[in-house]
Structures are given as C-alpha cells and as structure tokens.
C-alpha cells in the first residue's frame, strides 16, 4: 500500500475543509449576524441571507435574534455600565464569562423588543428569542449533528479541519470583544465614545471585524477596513455580491462623519480615501455635526432600541 498517497489525500482534505469552513462560518458571523442582521448595512435575497447566517449558527453563535440583541446592547452601552462584555469589567469577563451572565444585562422581553424586526421572521423566531439554555442547546445539537454528517461523508481529516476552523473563528469573535476594547492593543483612527481600537491581528483572524474603532465610529457602514492597509475580507465579499447583483442598499462610510471624527495626527501615516480636501470642501460644519449625530445610530430604529433598553 502506498501510504504517501493516503497521507497526502488526508492532508489535502483537512486543509481544504479548514479553509472552506473558515470562510463559511466566518462570513456567517461577520456578514450574516453582524453586518446584515444587526446593523442592516446591506440587503441580500432572503435565501442568501439564510445561507450566510447558517454559517454563524454552525459556529455556535446561538440564536441570531439573541446574538443581535446582545450586540445592539453593546453598541448602545459600549464600555459603560450595562455593556454585556466590556473589558473594563475584567478580561475573562469580556472573553467568555459574560455569556453565562446575560440575564443580568438583558431580560427576555428586551431581547424581543430590541429585535422587533427579526421577530417577524419565523425561521429566526424558531431558533430562539430568549437567554434560556434551550436555544443554546438547540444550536449545540445542530452543530454536533452536522459534524457527525461531515465525519460520515468526508472522514476524519475533513472533520478535524472543520473543527479547528470553527474553534478559531469562535474565539476570534470573542477577541473582538476583548482586545479591540483594550488600550494596550492597536490604534484609534476615530474619536468615539468608547474604548474601541483597530487591531490588525484580530482583523486578520476575524475577517475584518478587528477594525473595530472604525466600526464604532460608523456602525452602519458595511465596510469596516477603511485605510489602504486595513484589509477586510468581509467587505471584499460584499463588493463581489454587489457586483453580482446579489447585494443592494450597501451602506458605505460617510465622508462627513469620517471628517468629523478623525483623530489627529493619523496613526501609521495612513490616508483614508474619503478624507481628501476635496471632500472637506463640500461640507459645512452643520452638515458634519448632523452626520456625526446620525452616525451614532446603530440601526434606523436606534431611538426605539434605546427606549426599549431602558424599560
Ligand atoms: Zn465594540
Ligand atoms: Zn456592531
């Protein structure tokens, strides 16, 4: 028996499985749960939305409604009392402990009210809309069942690649919550009301989500990497989908906001493409002020969410 052929096949199967899984579950979270569902930064056809979001579900992110509710709360109260996962409350708290304490931060009624848009969708409703263990167990069961199918169809090497990618992407999401809000990592390009940072290695692992200061400055923008060196593979995916006619109403960074929030001097000597003098000339201080205030909105319904959060 030629064992080298067997070994090479196993290796190729494992590596291919790793990269395919990484992209599928990664984009599931960054594009699906985050940019499409939480911030409504773009629209895709419903079948494609479900396909993309399924990747996040397969990465143990739990019910989309609950994830979105937690993330909308994070934007409303970032690094202030009531933020579910601020490193100001401790590193391990921000990394994972918050997941077991969500009842302290948000009631089940608040989940439903801050996600009134997603509550209209029967598929998302079916996957759960509360902080009880049931929805997490449903997700875990589906994740395990899918891995058994992968093992049966493609064998151990494919399963190993799949699990390794899933674990890496799962933790990369938690790294955004921690390292991208800690002042000893990365840099800030924009003046924002919380501690958010742009951290290159988190961006590399979390498919663009590590450009977190940019994101907090302009939460509704579908593009998070904004300087030339800030590669954002999720944004690249959005551009391709838009070119294919599969993404519409794509929200881009607002140049007025970018100007109003820029910190000086700019770190790393980077040039943001939308902050030229030409762009500056077009806007009055009033325009910039208005855009600054508008950019603080997490979604179009931010006022409603803010009120719901106070109940
Ligand atoms: Zn944040
Ligand atoms: Zn966000």
Name every residue whose Cβ is closer than 8 Å to that of residue 215 and which is 6 or more positions away in sequence: 196, 209, 221, 224
Structure confidence at residue 260 (pLDDT): 73
**DSSP symbol at 249:** S
Assess whether pLDDT exceeds 60 at residue 90: yes
Least distant ligand from the CA of 176? 1
Which candidate, 96, 99, 25, places its Cα nearest to that of 67? 99
- Separation of CA 57 and ligand 2 centre (Å): 17
Structure confidence at residue 258 (pLDDT): 76
Which residues on adjacent β-strands are paired with residue 164? Answer: none
| Class of residue 236 by CB neighbours under 10 A (exposed 0-12, middle 13-18, buried 19+) | middle
Question: Model's pTM, two decimal places?
Answer: 0.84
Structure confidence at residue 120 (pLDDT): 96
Least distant ligand from the CA of 84? 1
Structure confidence at residue 274 (pLDDT): 38
- Separation of CA 75 and ligand 1 centre (Å): 7
The tens digit of pLDDT for each residue in 225-243 reads 988 889 999 999 999 999 9
Structure confidence at residue 3 (pLDDT): 55
Residues in the chain: 311
Q: Rounded mean pLDDT of 274-283?
A: 40
Assess whether pLDDT exceeds 80 at residue 311: no
- Separation of CA 128 and ligand 2 centre (Å): 21
| Structural domain of 92 | 4-309
Residue found under tokens 């603080």: 296
- Separation of CA 281 and ligand 2 centre (Å): 30
- Separation of CA 161 and ligand 2 centre (Å): 29
Pick the more confident residue, 15 or 298.
Answer: 15
- Separation of CA 152 and ligand 1 centre (Å): 39
Q: Rounded mean pLDDT of 1-15?
A: 77
- Separation of CA 6 and ligand 1 centre (Å): 45
Query: How many domains does the chain contain in total?
Result: 1
**Integer Cα distance of 118 and 125 in angstroms:** 8
Supply angle C-alpha 195, 167, 140, rounded to 5: 105
Mean model confidence pLDDT for the chain: 86
Tokens of 96: 């994972």
The tens digit of pLDDT for each residue in 103-129 reads 999 999 999 999 999 999 999 999 999
Least distant ligand from the CA of 181? 1
Name every residue whose Cβ is closer than 8 Å to that of residue 210 and which is 6 or more positions away in sequence: 175, 176, 179, 180, 186, 198, 199, 200, 201, 202, 203, 204
- Separation of CA 101 and ligand 2 centre (Å): 20
């Amino acid at each position: 028996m030629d064992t080298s052929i067997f070994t090479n096949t196993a290796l190729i199967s494992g590596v291919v499985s790793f990269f395919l899984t990484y992209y599928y579950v990664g984009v599931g979270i960054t594009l699906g749960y985050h940019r499409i569902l939480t911030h409504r930064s773009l629209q895709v056809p419903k079948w494609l939305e479900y396909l993309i979001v399924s990747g996040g579900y397969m990465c143990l992110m739990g019910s989309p409604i609950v994830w979105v509710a937690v993330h909308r709360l994070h934007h409303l109260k970032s690094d202030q009392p009531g933020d579910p996962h601020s490193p100001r409350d401790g590193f391990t708290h921000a990394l994972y402990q918050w997941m077991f304490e969500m009842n302290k931060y948000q009631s089940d009624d608040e989940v439903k009210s801050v996600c009134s848009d997603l509550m209209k969708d029967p598929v998302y409703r079916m996957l759960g809309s509360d902080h009880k263990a049931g929805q997490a167990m449903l997700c875990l069961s589906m994740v395990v069942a899918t891995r058994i199918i992968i093992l049966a169809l493609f064998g151990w090497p494919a399963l190993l690649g799949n699990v390794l990618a899933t674990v890496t992407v799962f933790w990369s999401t938690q790294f955004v919550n921690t390292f991208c809000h800690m002042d000893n990592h990365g840099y800030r390009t924009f003046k924002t009301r919380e501690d958010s940072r742009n951290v290159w290695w988190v961006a590399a692992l979390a498919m663009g989500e590590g450009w977190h200061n940019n994101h907090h400055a302009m939460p509704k923008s579908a593009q998070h990497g904004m300087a030339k060196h800030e590669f954002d593979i999720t944004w690249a995916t959005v551009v391709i989908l838009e070119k294919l006619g599969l993404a519409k109403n794509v929200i881009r960074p607002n140049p007025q906001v970018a100007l109003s929030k820029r910190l000086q001097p700019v770190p790393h000597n980077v040039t943001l493409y939308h902050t030229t003098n030409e762009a500056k000339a077009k806007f009055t201080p009033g325009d910039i002020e208005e855009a600054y205030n508008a950019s603080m909105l997490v979604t179009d319904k931010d006022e409603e969410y803010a009120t719901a959060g106070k109940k």
